[in-house]
Structure 1
């Protein structure tokens, strides 16, 4: 159960030649990468190393993995991490109901004289193996494997990932080792709700993803919200950048800026004034305390 090593999209011969080339094909997929992001992703491809993207929520870490899969014409396999995630959810499970039916069929065929060793050996085969995201990534390579919000998982799960990041392989006790002959492009993301251990980071290339600068945020808004005018896109980007300087419970990310632009466009607004901002702040702020604070300072926010 190993991945096919034949050529195809994303193999060595079809990689972008430079970070600028990668930035251009990412742009065609709708992702506007700055020089740092494009270089980090390019090196991950060239060096066949996992890419660990850390940063504030809403800076485009997950979107980068999605855009890479689209730009390189590769399948995207996503593992969403959460508290308590384990190997059964991330790697594999055995199909116990089918195994039980198989045992009963064997017993009937053998007239009740079932050899225990032979029966057990027949149970742990690919036929009864339910592949979860990590195993699918190893057997579907080349692909992009997104391990999203690794900071939500616990220490034990981090340790579990080390073999996969080291060797592009996992070991299933009853079955053996499964290895990808073409390594998946692994992108791990973290919102830094806790520190991820050095052992995991050492196995990855690291990039801290910043919020976009003003010009790039305007370009992102224009790209993602059809019909958005120059004036309104600049006003939204400037307001969002000011919001990020406040001590808010949840500063807005790019996704919230896009939501705000879509909300204003849906209302037919072509200018961001205090009245339109007041009724649409729920698109960009997600806590009542933040809403109250910003509504009290809308005039200064909109400059």
Structure 2
């Protein structure tokens, strides 16, 4: 038995590619295929990959192109149910108790029951995602799950299996229609198999030269052609170096935007050295590339592009 699908989502892989393109997200066909199946069958989609390759952006684009609300749960060490699912408004409950005692209008037995009613419940992203939304099931982004602790990961099993949560004072709350769930991980630790089994899986890799070129052209259409190709070529070569953290697509976009702000039409060694902090986030990486290595990479990039034009 499969979960309820989404009747107003894309009806084919090609439509899924088109949907992502509408949001200026350039995806390969394998990603579009698994995303289409996740939407069609109502299954969570688990995306792993290096930071900055566009995992989170998929949820944002789906929210935008499908016209759904986006609920984002940013994960961190120590994340618990009160921050992710629900908590009771203790201050308001205490005020209600004092008002009831002061007026004497409400019997103590009734007052105790009312304290755990819907009006005192503070809804966090996971619970909000299970409730009806006027524009259809929302997109629930569980971002960087690998930052959380294993107990919270275990708690998610009920949510991802049955799209429901249990609140002891109220009971079980179950979604009428499941939300679109996108889970991301930078793989700083392994996620348990029990959670992965509940999801469709895709590894989001660094893009090829052609796809990254298409991404920059889509996001920054006014970027000069020559500069665009040099930026992509340099970043592609930089990722092959022995770095602590290679630049992602997000850094490519930031770097290209920076170069435009500096009125650059093409790369020069001086400009590369001056702006490496946009691409690289660790001083050891910057020190390893700055100077002679940057000049060598830039020379190779220009030679590669010249050869492509000749071909």
TM-score (norm. length: structure 1): 0.93
Residue 170 of structure 1 contacts residue 177 of structure 1 at CA under 8 Å; is this kept in 2?
yes
1:241 and 1:140 map into 2 onto residues whose CA distance is 44
> Gaps spanning 5+ residues in structure 1: where?
1-9
Q: 2:155 aligns with which of 144, 156, 160?
A: 160
Partner Cα separation in structure 1 for residue 6 and residue 155 of structure 2: 28
Deviation at 1:17, TM superposition (A): 1.3
Moved more, 136-145 or 146-155: 136-145
1:234 maps to what in 2?
229
Q: Aligned partners of 1:203 and 1:97: how far apart in 2?
A: 37
Q: Does 1:290 align with 2:285?
A: yes
Give the equivalent residue in structure 1 for 2:75.
81
| Cα separation, partners in 2 of 1:140 and 1:285, compared to 1, 3 Å | farther
> Counterpart of 1:171 in 2: which secondary structure?
strand
After superposition, the CA RMSD in angstroms is 1.5
| Paired residue secondary structure (1:301) | helix
Question: 2: CA distance between counterparts of 1:11 and 1:50?
Answer: 11
Q: What is residue 187 of structure 2 aligned with on the other side?
A: 192
Shift of 1:107: 2.1
Aligned to 2:309: none
- 2:39 — aligned with what? 45
- How many correspondences in the alignment? 292
Aligned to 2:275: 280
Measure the CA separation in 1 of the matches of 2:294 and 2:6.
52
Partner residue in 1 for 2:303 = none
Of the three residues 141, 152, 164, the one matched with 1:169 is 164
Q: Which moved more, 1:223-232 or 1:177-186?
A: 223-232
Superposed displacement of residue 11, structure 1:
7.2
Secondary structure at the counterpart of residue 12 of structure 1: coil
**TM-score, normalization: structure 2?**
0.91
The SS at the match of 2:67 is coil
Separation in structure 1 between the aligned mates of residue 85 and residue 251 of structure 2, nearest angstrom = 33
Tell me the alpha carbon deviations over residues 60-119 of structure 1, each in whole angstroms, 9 at most, x when there is no partner.
0000111111111111000000000000100011001111111122223326x843x322
Contact kept, 8 Å, 2:54 with 2:249, in 1: the verdict is yes
Q: Which residue in 1 is equivalent to 2:308?
A: none
Question: What whole-Å deviation, never above 9, does each CA across 1:207-266 have from its counterpart, x for those lacking one?
Answer: 011111111101111121241011111111111111111111110000000011011100
